[in-house]
Structure 1
Amino acid sequence: MAVSLHASPATPARITDALNATTAGVLDADALAFLAALHRRFDPTRRALLQTRAARRARFDAGELPDFLAETRAIRDGEWKVAPIPAALQDRRVEITGPVDRKMIINALNSGAKVFMADFEDSTAPTFANLLDGQRNLRDAVAGAIDYTSPEGKRYEVKPNPAVLMVRPRGWHLPERHVEVDGEALSGSLFDFGLFALHNAKALHTAGRGPCFYLPKMESHREAALWNEVMNHAEDALGLPRGAMKVTVLIETLPAVFEMDEILHALRTRITGLNCGRWDYIFSYIKTLRAHRDRVLPERGQVLMTVPFLKAYSELLIKTCHSRGAFAMGGMAAQIPINHDPAANEAALAKVRADKLREVTAGHDGTWVAHPALVPVAKAIFDEYMPTPNQLTVLRADVVADRDTLLAPSVGTITHAGFAANVEICLRYLSAWIDGQGCVPIHHLMEDAATAEISRAQLWQWLHHADGPAGLESAGAALAFDDGAPVDFAIFDATLATVRQRLSSTPMPGQARVGEAADLLGKLTHADTLADFLTLAAYPLLP
């Protein structure tokens, strides 16, 4: 493949691990040269932006609160729109997400969803084998050459009219240790994006289907501007017109909700919408306000999209997007079928229907599901309440979401069962992740890194604010369980030991890694500072 590298240095990237026969072609000489050019041109800015994140987080820890930026008021107040949205993306009423294994890709493309987001981030553990197999699988899918035969002999292949493919690379903070440039680890974002773009961008553009990307974990419009520069460079190098690459941005960090107009503006020639990445958003609320004792959240099951700070976030996203001509995508339904218990299954589906009804009546243009069986459930709700391809005409002028509403603490309680559930979810997910599996069914929910992060961050928050005021019903007193028992490290250590012992003898993904996962969870929870990301801390433990 002939690629213009803009006169980058001759030395390519260096692979620090072995390639197998099926993936060697994914990471060939052209790919290494392309990745090296991306790294040399954009990694200094990426690193500087991560330092900016850390500096702002230090100010939040010192008492500052997130707010709308004074210096970008002209962008928020200005009259402008994003570029027209392509025909292939005009109707996005149901999107399905999942990891990049071969069977999942085929089933998702065949699911009846309008879009499949192939995820290299929260639902893929970034082993070198997983990443390269995923890139090979997606290249085959784009070429129309993907199939799969199960060990039982069942054959899977893509049917006519598949979902539009979107790819989510890893966030700016994650490294790719298996490829080095000039002695430095490559950015995971640039690795995932660069390989997919190099192998598939031209074919997708010719077909009128992108290429399309979902961009995660950003905390500012400057991080969005960096993505725009990366894509401008890649389009030039690959012979594509500027703006050919289309993006949707997940608003899944608390700082980003105050810069939605600015993010849309930074990507205005290629952006098609914003998405309510609600699980990561809850995690980011905890992390951003980790030093603020008056904003401790109750247990995860009580932090629903109807609580004030989440309702304001989702409605402001709709208002902001539609005022700029961009789509406002709803959040994930994490439920999975409960085939052995019809009554429990129907109760789970009722929750999905209620959640999707809330989204469509609020003005969202589409929603996410994690399992193919939920596609018709979500689609039925959107078909009934959104007969048009989208709801760009729903402007939500009634929405007023100021800083105080977006930061309002959520009232609730902590139960012993909720505390223990957080320990178990963290331990189950982390054990599977460090064993190479990034998407794990736990108690009939599809848990990924985002939901594990909520559980991990809540444990830290509760335990480190146990001796002072909290934003719960017991505000002003020591943090306690709903029965009055204190939340303390003795209970955490005992619970962790009990769950560790039980899971060590429970057949489950990553069972052999439970001990390592428990040691890491204990270390992270006892640490004086809440670690930024579970996946960063666990990355050295991957095979």
Structure 2
Amino acid sequence: MVQGVIVHSTVADKAQALLLTDEALTFLAQLHRTFNATRISLLRARQATQRKLDAGSRLDFLPETAKIREDPSWRCAPPAPGLEDRRVEITGPTDRKMVVNALNSGTKTFMADFEDSSSPTFASMLNGQHNLYDAIRRQIDFEVNGKAYKLSDHPATLIVRPRGWHLDELRITVDGAPLSAGLFDFGLYFFHNAKELVARGSGPYFYVPKMEHYLEARLWNDVFIFAQSHLGIPHGTIRATALLETLPAAFQMEEILYELRDHSSGLNCGRWDYIFSFIKVHRSVASAVLPDRKDVTMTVPFMDSYVRLLIQTCHKRKVAAMGGMSAQIPIKADPAANDIAMEKVRADKLREVTAGHDGTWIAHPLINKIAMEIFNKHMPGPNQYHVLREEVRIAASDLLNPVVPGHITTAGVHENIETSLAYTAAWIGGNGCIPLNYLMEDAATAEITRVQLWQWVRYKSRLDTGEVITAELLEKWTDEIVPNIKKLAPAVTDEDVRIAAEYLKGQITKEWPSDFLTSDLMHILAARDGVDERLAKTVSVS
């Protein structure tokens, strides 16, 4: 019973009793009352920026922060215990089996993801927190169907990704307003585990996602200072890697590092969300229409420029420049197809390590051997901070360059529709990470597919056959594809597929695409968790 705090849903297991104590809820309420107003103002600033872009302005490096970029003297914090060498990181959701397998995978770190690879049902969010609580205390071992899951003697270092600033946790309100989902995820994990982590020689480490401005990084830093003071642990104990996954943030890499410098552990190339952001930022630019998703690779000009600038920026400030995700997963039933997929992984990891990255992401434990061998061969030390890339000169036009060779094909459009429907239906049903066509897909892929379909309709793009892509054509193809979605994602229900199809059709005919499908559809999960429908449809910024 905490004044002003209401939990609108009940999870009938021990996770809620363990985690949502009065002391923890009081801490969450303090975070909300101290920081939520700033969060809301920053979300409104995002909208104002996009309106300016729609009116014809262009992103550029900020003149008011030039001194920060030009000052060679400042550095970020040195690597914290367990983060000195991050050559391979595995990422995934926080269910109990995944947590054990990821920590035992042989990678250097595991990013436990409450964001893009999790469907945020209340049970999933709380059970995930409970699983991490148990893993930190080495009490997570369990057995299912006769198979034992036991934590190894030397597990990977744990890093947690809370949800982004744009998302609300509708199952908890403070003074009548939804709690920030990011503050909920961060706050519960930090409150229950920070001291235990430090006592065990590690620390509370985070990935912070989807920032669009250095002031959003400043807000995270303020939260870190507040939280450390609250628990009485030293300033700088927290470490945070910022996912550089929005186009506006690419123009503020140094500023983001500067704001987080006492808590920073680097930047990460969040490649799939970055493509999604590139399309959203250019939503009013007809010349920025991209071809098939498969053609938007890491070697196209705007992606290559982003990577080179990120590596240069991080190494200038002596922090990790982390590479991105190879979504391929092993194909056990087809050795020839598996060889092709694994060769794509090798090429991707070789590109990253030779460019100067200090580590990379994988989605499956069996990929670790490939990634580790390549980084071990080309990066004998714990990192490549010495690779300064001083020859790199990236202009604003390089980051904004929309030229991508390729075509829009019938197969590419069909694949986008299939992926959007299958993932969205799975997410609504409580699964935020699913294999599709031998790729491990999360929300970022669904977002790209959705906005590409919108973009092609908006600008009357043509298929390589010459046919114009219209809303009517995509609606027809969607109706034809819907009956096959359960073959791609067998666990989804007919109702969830229906909702996904209705949502996609609505999106492709909108004036502007929604910012995030996870924001749009969160009310469905909240209502299923028992939240009143009117409250479930409440969001902080419309």
TM-score (norm: length of structure 2) = 0.95
Counterpart among 160, 163, 166 of residue 156 in structure 2 = 163
Give the Å deviation of 1:209: 1.4
Structure 2 residue 478 is matched with structure 1 residue 496: yes
Give the Å deviation of 1:504: 5.3
Give the Å deviation of 1:535: 0.7
Q: 2-side partners of 1:30 and 1:177: how far apart?
A: 20
Structure 2 residue 481 is matched with structure 1 residue 487: no
Taking a change above 3 Å as real, the CA distance of residues 505 and 440 of structure 1, as seen in their structure-2 partners, is closer
**What residue is the counterpart of 1:417 in the other structure?**
411
Counterpart among 438, 443, 455 of residue 449 in structure 1 = 443
1:518 counterpart SS class: helix
Name the amino acid aligned to 1:419.
Answer: V
Give the Å deviation of 1:10: 6.3
2:389 counterpart SS class: coil
Q: 2-side partners of 1:54 and 1:326: how far apart?
A: 31
**What residue is the counterpart of 1:102 in the other structure?**
96
Taking a change above 3 Å as real, the CA distance of residues 127 and 389 of structure 1, as seen in their structure-2 partners, is same
Structure 2 residue 522 is matched with structure 1 residue 522: no
1:191-229 CA-to-partner distances (Å, cap 9, x unmatched) read 000000001001112223121000000001100000000
1:233-274 CA-to-partner distances (Å, cap 9, x unmatched) read 000011110110111000000000000000000000010110
Q: 1-side partners of 2:488 and 2:130: how far apart?
A: 34
**What residue is the counterpart of 2:533 in the other structure?**
none
Q: Trace 1:153-192 onto structure 2 (pairs within 5 A).
A: 153-192=146-185
1:396-447 CA-to-partner distances (Å, cap 9, x unmatched) read 0111111111111123210000000000000000000000000010000001
Counterpart among 289, 309, 314 of residue 296 in structure 1 = 289
2:82 counterpart SS class: helix
Q: How many percent of aligned residue pairs carry the same amino acid? A: 51
1:42 counterpart SS class: helix
1:101-150 CA-to-partner distances (Å, cap 9, x unmatched) read 00000000000000000000000000000000001000000111102322
Give the Å deviation of 1:160: 0.9
Q: 1-side partners of 2:202 and 2:486: how far apart?
A: 46
Give the Å deviation of 1:28: 1.2
Q: Trace 1:192-207 onto structure 2 (pairs within 5 A).
A: 192-207=185-200
1:273-325 CA-to-partner distances (Å, cap 9, x unmatched) read 10000000000000111111111111110000000000000010000000001
Is there any run of 5+ residues in structure 1 with no aligned partner, and where?
1-8, 467-478
Mean Cα displacement is larger for which, 109-118 or 197-206? 197-206
Give the Å deviation of 1:487: 1.3
Q: Choose between structure 1 and 2 for higher RCO, CA contacts under 8 A separated by at least 6 residues.
A: 2
Structure 1 contact 13–35 (Cα < 8 Å) conserved: no
Counterpart among 497, 516, 521 of residue 533 in structure 1 = 516
Q: 2-side partners of 1:20 and 1:32: how far apart?
A: 18
TM-score (norm: length of structure 1) = 0.95
1:25 counterpart SS class: helix
Q: 2-side partners of 1:95 and 1:523: how far apart?
A: 37
Counterpart among 141, 154, 157 of residue 135 in structure 2 = 141
Structure 1 contact 102–137 (Cα < 8 Å) conserved: yes
Mean Cα displacement is larger for which, 522-531 or 181-190? 522-531
Name the amino acid aligned to 1:311.
Answer: D
**What residue is the counterpart of 1:5 in the other structure?**
none
Q: Trace 1:131-280 onto structure 2 (pairs within 5 A).
A: 131-150=125-144, 152-280=145-273
- Number of residue pairs the alignment of both structures matches: 522
**What residue is the counterpart of 1:21 in the other structure?**
13
Q: Trace 1:340-355 onto structure 2 (pairs within 5 A).
A: 340-355=333-348
**What residue is the counterpart of 2:121 in the other structure?**
127
Give the Å deviation of 1:485: 1.3
Is there any run of 5+ residues in structure 2 with no aligned partner, and where?
529-542
Name the amino acid aligned to 2:444.
Answer: A
Structure 1 contact 261–320 (Cα < 8 Å) conserved: yes
Structure 2 contact 426–489 (Cα < 8 Å) conserved: no
Name the amino acid aligned to 1:351.
Answer: K
Structure 1 contact 12–33 (Cα < 8 Å) conserved: no
Q: 2-side partners of 1:345 and 1:210: how far apart?
A: 38
1:393 counterpart SS class: coil
**What residue is the counterpart of 1:333 in the other structure?**
326
Structure 2 contact 426–492 (Cα < 8 Å) conserved: yes
Structure 1 contact 504–515 (Cα < 8 Å) conserved: no
**What residue is the counterpart of 1:51 in the other structure?**
44
Q: 2-side partners of 1:357 and 1:282: how far apart?
A: 21
Give the Å deviation of 1:488: 1.3
Q: 2-side partners of 1:49 and 1:87: how far apart?
A: 33
Q: 2-side partners of 1:381 and 1:390: how far apart?
A: 14
Q: 2-side partners of 1:220 and 1:465: how far apart?
A: 29
Structure 1 contact 34–194 (Cα < 8 Å) conserved: yes
Give the Å deviation of 1:95: 0.1
1:436 counterpart SS class: coil
Counterpart among 422, 425, 429 of residue 431 in structure 1 = 425
**What residue is the counterpart of 1:472 in the other structure?**
none
1:358-406 CA-to-partner distances (Å, cap 9, x unmatched) read 0000000000001111111100100011111100000001111111111
1:106 counterpart SS class: helix
Structure 2 contact 116–442 (Cα < 8 Å) conserved: yes
Q: 2-side partners of 1:85 and 1:12: how far apart?
A: 39
Structure 2 residue 83 is matched with structure 1 residue 83: no
Structure 1 contact 337–444 (Cα < 8 Å) conserved: yes
**What residue is the counterpart of 2:370 in the other structure?**
377
Name the amino acid aligned to 1:500.
Answer: V
Give the Å deviation of 1:527: 1.1
Taking a change above 3 Å as real, the CA distance of residues 126 and 10 of structure 1, as seen in their structure-2 partners, is closer
**What residue is the counterpart of 1:4 in the other structure?**
none
Root-mean-square deviation (CA, aligned residues, Å) is: 1.2
Structure 2 contact 2–22 (Cα < 8 Å) conserved: no
Mean Cα displacement is larger for which, 352-361 or 488-497? 488-497
Q: 2-side partners of 1:185 and 1:17: how far apart?
A: 13
Structure 1 contact 264–271 (Cα < 8 Å) conserved: yes
Misfit runs of 4+, over 3 Å: 504-507
